């Protein structure tokens, strides 16, 4: 199995359950590990056979910026579903964090894995 990854994709969005969080955009950060077979792309040097990380990034930015989520759990599930369904990724590990959301901590968040991890 090969992994295409994106680290620290920062997106501004409305997220949170408190009244003040509903009024201001906050930064969420995404780290993604996505299963992909890169052999054909490497053999042909052709983007059509690659998992296009720029297209993934642009899609997630557009979605998250316009999503008005209460919980990071909801947003994480939705992001994982987009990656799997729209980009044909069989397995994804997503780390979603809210930097600065908790006093005394650099960030808080969660890590989920969805799909079957190829061998």
Give pTM, 2 decimals.
0.94
> Is the pLDDT at 101 greater than 90, yes or no?
no
Task: Please check whether the domain covering 2-115 is classified as CATH 3.30.1130.10.
Answer: yes
Over residues 8-37, the pLDDT tens digits come to 999 999 999 999 999 999 999 999 999 999
Options 54, 58, 98, 117, the catalytic residue? 98
pLDDT of residue 118: 85
25 belongs to the catalytic site: no
Q: Where are the domains of the chain?
A: 2-115
pLDDT of residue 34: 98
Give the chain as a DSSP string. -EEEEEEEEEEEEEE-SSGGGGTS-EEEEEEEEEEE--HHHHHHT-GGGS--HHHHHHHHHHHHHH-EES-HHHHHHHHHHHHHHHH--SEEEEEEEEETSSTTSSEEEEEEEEE----
Mean pLDDT to the nearest integer, 78-88: 98
């Amino acid at each position: 199995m090969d992994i295409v990854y994106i680290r620290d994709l920062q997106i501004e969005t409305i997220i949170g359950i408190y009244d003040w969080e509903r009024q201001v955009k906050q930064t969420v950060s995404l780290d993604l590990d996505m299963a992909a077979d890169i052999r054909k792309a490497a053999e042909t040097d052709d983007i059509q056979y690659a998992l296009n990380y720029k297209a993934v990034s642009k899609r997630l930015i557009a979605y998250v910026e316009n999503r008005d989520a209460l919980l990071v759990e909801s947003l994480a599930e939705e992001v994982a579903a987009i990656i799997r369904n729209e980009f044909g990724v069989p397995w994804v590990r997503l780390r979603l964090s809210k930097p600065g959301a908790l006093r005394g901590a650099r960030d808080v968040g969660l890590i989920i894995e969805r799909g079957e991890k190829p061998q």
